[in-house]
Amino acid sequence: LSGSKHLCSICGDRASGKHYGVYSCEGCKGFFKRTVRKDLTYACREDRNCIIDKRQRNRCQYCRYQKCLACGMKREAVQEERQRGTRAANARAAGAGGGGGGGGGVSNVVGAGGEDFKPSSSLRDLTIERIIEAEQKAESLSGDNVLPFLRVGNNSMVQHDYKGAVSHLCQMVN
């Protein structure tokens, strides 16, 4: 970071890398991310051509955001905010002990009655009770009969933080 040879395309400060498609500093990266995530709109108090440089970049949010777009920052490159919390806390909440990253994850689990269970996108929904319930439903299937119902792959819907818990559950079922 400190040895960066690039300057921020928006304000001219030292760039920390390419963010949202453009070499930019941490300040402009954060400003753009907040603007997109909160869907903020700004108004310029002057003539919509304010100088945006390292010293004056905070004076006009409208012109700064317009310059971000003009320089090529992509709104669609901003990801949704991640769930807060540490990995250890997430693993405890999911009921999993240790690691076990597992290559893929479960994208879809079909229960014994044919009902479709899709993993939740929120850690709060992945509770010990749900794991026990899934395990009990899987118990009615034995050995090799379980494998066709578990789809594992790169396009898994299981979030990275959950993969240890899901991998542990799959090992218990198998």
* Residue position matching structure tokens 């929120």: 122
> pLDDT band at residue 150, thresholds of 50, 70 and 90?
very low
Task: Give residues with Cβ within 8 angstroms of 131, minimum separation 6.
Answer: 94, 95, 165, 169
| Helices within the chain (DSSP H only) | 26-37, 61-70, 87-94, 128-139, 163-173
Please check whether residue 131 is in contact with residue 169, taking contact to mean a CB–CB distance below 8 angstroms: yes
pLDDT at 4: 63
pLDDT at 75: 95
Tens-place pLDDT, residues 89-129? 555 555 544 444 444 444 444 444 555 544 545 454 556 66
Q: What is the DSSP code (8-state) at residue 94?
A: H
In order, the DSSP letters of 132-173 are: HHHHHHHHTS-GGGTGGGEEEETT--S-GGGHHHHHHHHHHH
Tens-place pLDDT, residues 20-41? 999 999 999 999 999 999 999 9
Within 13 Å, how many C-alpha atoms sit on residue 55's CB side? 1
Tens-place pLDDT, residues 64-100? 999 999 999 999 999 988 766 666 555 555 554 444 4
Q: What is the DSSP code (8-state) at residue 102?
A: -
Please check whether residue 2 is in contact with residue 21, taking contact to mean a CB–CB distance below 8 angstroms: no
> Domains of the chain, with CATH numbers?
17-73 (3.30.50.10), 149-173 (no CATH)
pLDDT at 63: 98
**85-105 burial by CB neighbour count: b if 16+ within 10 A, else e?**
eeeeebbebbbbeeeeebebb
| Residue 141 reports pLDDT greater than 60 | no
**Residues 138/141/146/150 CA torsion (nearest 10 deg):** -40
